[in-house]
């Protein structure tokens, strides 16, 4: 068998949604009107914290695929002012969100127990508010949301190899800026900044998905204790600390790209490590100079820079059954699945989707029932399912 990233085809039912004349689709998708449609046609559960569980109408997988979105569309009308990362979410909302995550991940592992039969992932990508709304590839809903997906390993084994030069794949791999030029200082910063008890750093040989070889070279942490550790609030504090460390690294680097010898970013989470590990490291500062010099002479390159922290962070299970956390830069266009070497080609095919829909909805309704039972929200009635 050949090993490498895979491209699979996933059918979906076309959405009968009309975009008002004169609006681009990604502008409309950020509107309250579109979020109303999401709730009424695909919403599964809503709670007072404005966390909405919904069926992915344009899903990545028809084995299991759902999302939670922090639906601030009616309380923050400015799409550019909405939270786009966990660190911007109020503590009480994050607490409820973590419990929802724990229950859904536990359900996924219960329903798909064999790591050689199914690939599981749960995680979020930052929908960075510095993107112009009209840029190609801007996320369709500019609010923080996370994904829960399951893929059949048999389908992945039978799928064609994806083009390894696909730019969306390279972002999660060794071609990325951090991995190519600053891998050592990147890892040293995490090692020095983070005090971890539940998460344990592991090598690429231990963390990779064997079939795809991804995620290439990224820092990864095994979850000590497996799924039971997700019931420990300490795990979620460490999960947040990884994001905070990434944000410090990202902001510090691009501050140096923007302005030579810039001061430490305000409100750094780990100021001592930023000063001692990053701002006194020659490789780090030399790489910032390379990027700065190219920005000055290459307008297209400069326009592609994500000046604010952009990331994908996820929990996944590899074939060895390890539960692993990783984090990566984000780029315009790439999907969270591509961090694990899975490229999804979604095609409109209502009949093919209809064959998979009953089993998918059974699982979604059951996970909703467990969330309701845990006092994490109330069911939503749609044309496809009742409230309970």
- Assess if residue 229 is contained within a domain: yes
Name the DSSP letter for residue 61.
-
Helices 282-297 & 183-193, crossing angle to 10 degrees?
130
- Residue corresponding to tokens 């001061």: 263
Per-residue model confidence (pLDDT) at position 36:
79
How many other C-beta atoms are found inside a 10 Å radius of the C-beta of residue 34? 18
**What's the structural domain count of the chain?**
1
8 A C-beta contact, residue 75 and residue 96: no
Helices 91-111 & 350-373, crossing angle to 10 degrees?
120
pTM above 0.85, yes or no: yes
Structure tokens at 193: 């900044």
8 A C-beta contact, residue 249 and residue 185: no
Question: How does pLDDT run along the chain (388 residues), one tens digit per residue?
Answer: 788 999 999 999 887 777 888 887 767 776 777 777 788 889 999 999 999 999 988 889 999 999 999 988 888 887 778 888 888 899 999 999 999 999 999 999 999 999 999 999 999 887 655 555 555 555 556 678 899 999 999 999 999 999 877 777 765 444 467 777 788 899 999 999 999 999 999 998 999 999 999 987 788 999 999 999 999 999 999 999 999 999 999 999 999 999 999 999 999 999 999 999 999 999 999 999 999 999 999 988 887 777 888 788 999 999 999 999 999 887 655 678 988 999 999 999 999 999 999 999 999 999 999 999 999 999 999 887 876 6
Task: Provide the residue range defining the domain that includes 49.
Answer: 6-379
Relative to beta strand 51-55, strand 311-317 is: unpaired
8 A C-beta contact, residue 103 and residue 370: yes
- Farthest CA pair distance, the chain: 60
Helices 233-258 & 91-111, crossing angle to 10 degrees?
110
Phi, psi of 268 (to 5 degrees): -65, 140
Angle CA(268)–CA(270)–CA(273) in degrees, nearest 5? 120
Query: How would you list the strands of the sheet with 342-348, edge to edge?
Result: 160-161, 6-12, 342-348
Whole-angstrom distance, CA of residue 132 vs CA of residue 315: 29
Structure tokens at 189: 């910063």
8 A C-beta contact, residue 106 and residue 122: no
- CA-closest candidate to residue 88, choices 270, 311, 273, 264: 311
């Amino acid at each position: 068998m050949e090993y490498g990233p895979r491209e699979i085809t996933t059918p979906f039912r076309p959405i009968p949604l009309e975009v008002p004349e004169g609006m681009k689709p990604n502008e409309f998708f950020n509107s309250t009107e579109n979020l109303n449609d999401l709730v009424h046609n695909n919403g599964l559960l809503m709670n007072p914290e404005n966390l909405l569980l919904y069926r992915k109408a344009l899903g990545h997988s028809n084995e299991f695929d759902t999302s939670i979105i922090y639906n601030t569309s009616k309380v923050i009308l400015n799409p550019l002012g909405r939270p786009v990362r966990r660190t911007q979410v109020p503590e009480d909302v994050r607490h409820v969100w973590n419990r929802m995550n724990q229950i859904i991940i536990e359900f996924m592992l219960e329903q798909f127990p064999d790591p050689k039969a199914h690939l599981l992932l749960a995680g979020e990508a930052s929908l960075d508010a510095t993107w112009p709304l009209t840029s190609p590839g801007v996320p369709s809903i500019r609010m923080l949301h996370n994904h829960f997906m399951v893929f059949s390993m048999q389908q992945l084994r039978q799928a064609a190899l994806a083009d390894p030069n696909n730019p969306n794949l390279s972002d999660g791999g060794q071609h990325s800026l951090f991995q190519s030029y600053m891998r050592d200082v990147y890892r040293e910063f995490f090692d020095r900044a983070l005090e971890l008890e539940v998460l344990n750093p592991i090598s690429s040989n231990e963390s990779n998905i064997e079939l795809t070889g991804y995620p290439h070279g990224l820092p990864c942490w095994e979850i000590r204790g497996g799924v039971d550790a997700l019931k420990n609030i300490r795990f979620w504090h460490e999960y947040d600390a990884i994001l905070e460390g990434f944000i410090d690294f990202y902001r510090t680097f691009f501050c140096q790209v923007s302005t030579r010898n810039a001061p430490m970013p305000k409100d750094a989470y780990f100021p001592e490590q930023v000063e001692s590990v990053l701002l006194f490291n020659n490789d780090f500062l030399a790489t910032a100079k390379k990027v700065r010099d190219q920005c000055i002479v290459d307008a297209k390159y400069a326009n592609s820079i994500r000046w604010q922290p952009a990331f994908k962070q996820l929990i996944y299970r590899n074939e060895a059954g390890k539960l692993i956390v990783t984090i990566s830069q984000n780029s315009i266009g790439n999907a969270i699945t591509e961090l694990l070497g899975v490229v999804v080609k979604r095609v409109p095919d209502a009949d093919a989707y209809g064959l998979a829909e009953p089993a998918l909805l059974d699982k979604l309704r059951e996970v909703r029932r467990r969330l309701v039972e845990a006092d994490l929200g109330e069911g939503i009635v749609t044309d496809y399912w009742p409230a309970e």
